[in-house]
Structure 1
Amino acid sequence: MFQRCKNHPGSIPVGPGCGTGKLPGRRDCLVPRGETTNLRSDGGCGSGPVSPVVYVHIPKAAGTTLKNLLAKVYRGRPVLFFTPRTGELDRFRGLPAEQRRRVAVVAGHEPFGYQDVFRGCRVTPAVVTVLREPVARVVSLFRYIHRDAEHPRHGEFVRDSVTIGDVYERLRLPAFDNHMTRFLAGRGAFSKPFGGLDERDLRAAEQNLSAGCRVFGLQERFEDSLAWFGRELGWPPVGTPDLNRAPRRSTARDVDEADRRLIERHNTLDAALYAFAVKLFEERVSA
């Protein structure tokens, strides 16, 4: 049986509580139950922002900033910002269609395809995502793991003084290996081992980005991305928030030449995907 969040007694129950993350009250509960008559989907009615929105959150690509914006735009309406591998998404999937279809946003670190959580709800989810220059994303992730004590690998990284070389030559972590392609190619690619992706996965990721995403953004063009999100999804003006950044923002220039070449060698598919995304972004934003 699902429990109601003790901090949000009016929420739709999908998990044990709301947690204490960066977005308190939105970690594993749907808050508030509220009315959703002003929401619209591709097949619905009303004049509010398009819903439901399914956010494929690629790690270290403006995710916290976009989640805060989603919470702001859909304030007062049910949202689910789920934590991976906790069962929250499966619990949501098991709710009656009537409850699921009232949810405005579902967001988390889950590969393309999980929009099927709205199957049977008579709505068409608007899938969105944000990409980032691959080397900068890897450097940001590497520093984040070293910095954040809550990350599952933080202790190992600090204890063993893990380097970029260790990540690729000893640990062989999939999160550093064409991870954007993994997320956008779908569940099959996402579960492949380190070094297991190929050109077919890249083609799948490109297809899902171009045909499966209602709108997408680039961290390096975040202001333009938000303007496109707003036009496409019917958002009210949201301004241009500061990106949620580490103490020093990571760029591709923040690693030495040897490490940069190592990262590039293991992220050739992501580099191709990002180049594809930049070209597609320019075409659609200027259309």
Structure 2
Amino acid sequence: METPASFSLSNSEIIDLGQRSHDEQIIIFLHIPKAGGTTINGIINQQYRKNCTFRFDGIENRYKLAELEQYQRSKLKLIRGHFAFGLHEFLSCPAKYFTLLRNPVSRTISHYNYLCRSSSLPNHEKVKEMSLKNYILSDLSNNNLQTKMLFGLSNVPAYSDEEILTTVKQNLENQFSVVGLVERFDETLFFLKQAFNWRVPLYIQQNITPQHQHIQNNVDNNIIDIIKEKNSLDLELYEYAQKQFEHQIAESKKDFYQNLERQKRINQLYQPFGSTYNLARHFMLKQLKKF
């Protein structure tokens, strides 16, 4: 895997978010594409006022954050987007990250399907003419994307895959409050609620925790093997994250499962209300497009 270049900062690159205590650390949601982020963003919108969050994609676009007025930056509680690890190095205050990982096979297939059907995306025209196999073998697939994003703008030199994975694991251990799993979505929400003192997170139960086998049913085993080969770092990272996740559950309080079931029951009660809201919102947006 190509190693990203290390970086150094000048004072002019530091983005002032105001003076903050340890308890007021800015939260950074590192959103890996096709890893549950759309649902998480909806939950974030339940937890914070609009002027308390800011979104941009690409670490190179952090200047958009710097362009906010000082009083706006000082109110921020959470920054989110598709960007590489390392944003905290550009901030004037302490920060804590969270992210969700997804089984690399499922994530790759899902990303391919998303590119094929989303005409607004830059590579849509190219990808829709490709088979899944050709996509995986092309540069457009961006294999080992999860590892690349979490290695990010590391100051730690890495010359081998083993060193890259070691650095990524250290990043997760030292800088991330929660490393969730798409396949364990409800447990992930429970840990997010605990870590950031959120209200009970509510979401509509659709395409949230797709079964790993279900998404592969129509994919040839040879192609799955190619995905695994091309994403070997992501596979090892995901296996590591799974073990850490299970360890975190084992270390939780005895009432973990009781509280988790309570959270699930509340979310189940929310389904008809949330579904109605989503349908109404979709209808209104469709009508507005006509004007």
Higher relative contact order (CA 8 A, sep 6+): 2
Task: Name the residue aligned to 1:181.
Answer: 147
Preserved contact between residue 35 and residue 101 of structure 2 (Cα < 8 Å):
yes
TM-score between both structures, scaled by the size of structure 2: 0.70
Taking the aligned partners of 1:261 and 1:62, their CA distance within structure 2 comes to 24
The CA distance in 1 between the partners of 2:160 and 2:227, in whole Å, is: 15
Q: Secondary structure at the match of 2:62?
A: helix
- Counterpart of 2:173? 210
Deviation at 1:283, TM superposition (A): 1.3
* Match of residue 230, structure 1, among 193, 211, 222: 193
**Deviation of residue 104 (structure 1)?**
1.5
The residue identity in structure 1 corresponding to 2:187 is D
RMSD: 2.9
Instruction: Report if the CA contact (8 A) 2:100-2:182 is conserved.
Output: yes
Map of 2:132 onto structure 1:
164
Contact 2:39 2:203 in 1 (8 A): no
User: What is the Cα deviation at residue 110 of structure 1?
Assistant: 0.4
Partner of 1:57: 31
Asked whether the 8 Å contact 2:100–2:179 carries over to 1, the reply is: yes
Preserved CA contact (<8 Å) 1:41 1:125: no
May I ask how many residue pairs the two structures share in their alignment? Answer: 229
1:106 partner SS: strand
| Stretches of structure 1 lacking an aligned partner (at least 5 in a row) | 1-39, 45-50
Deviates more, 1:255-264 or 1:67-76: 67-76
- 1:74 corresponds, among 30, 48, 51, to 48
Q: Distance in 1 between matches of 2:50 and 2:203?
A: 21
Q: Is the 8 A contact 2:27 2:79 kept in 1?
A: yes
The secondary structure found in structure 1 opposite 2:75 is coil
Structure 1 residues 124 and 241, CA, compared in 2 at 3 Å: closer, same or farther? farther
1:52 and 1:101 in contact (8 A); partners too? no
Superposition pairs of residues 20-31 of structure 1, within 5 angstroms: none
Query: How far apart, CA to CA, are the structure 2 residues paired with 1:218 and 1:279?
Result: 11
The residue number in structure 1 matching 2:272 is none
Q: 2:233 aligns with which of 269, 272, 282?
A: 269
Q: SS at the partner of 2:225?
A: helix
The structure that is helix-richer by fraction is: 2
CA contact (8 A) 2:58 2:82 kept: yes
- For the Cα contact (< 8 Å) 1:185–1:208, is it kept in 2? yes
Letter in 1 for 2:181: L
Is the Cα contact below 8 Å between 2:97 and 2:177 reproduced in 1? yes
Q: Tell whether 2:154 aligns with 1:154.
A: no
Q: Which amino acid is 2:162 matched to?
A: E
Structure with bigger gyration radius:
2
Partners of 1:197 and 1:146 in 2: CA distance: 33
Give 1:83 shift: 3.3
Q: Give percent identity, aligned residues only.
A: 28
Letter in 1 for 2:85: F
Which among 279, 282, 286 is matched to residue 243 of structure 2?
279
Using the TM superposition, name which of 142-151 and 108-117 deviates more.
108-117
**CA drift at 1:279:** 0.7
Cα deviation digits, residues 84-114 of structure 1 (max 9, x gap):
38x6521213556654232111111101111
What TM-score, normalized to structure 1?
0.71
Counterpart CA distance in 2 for 1:236 and 1:186 is: 31
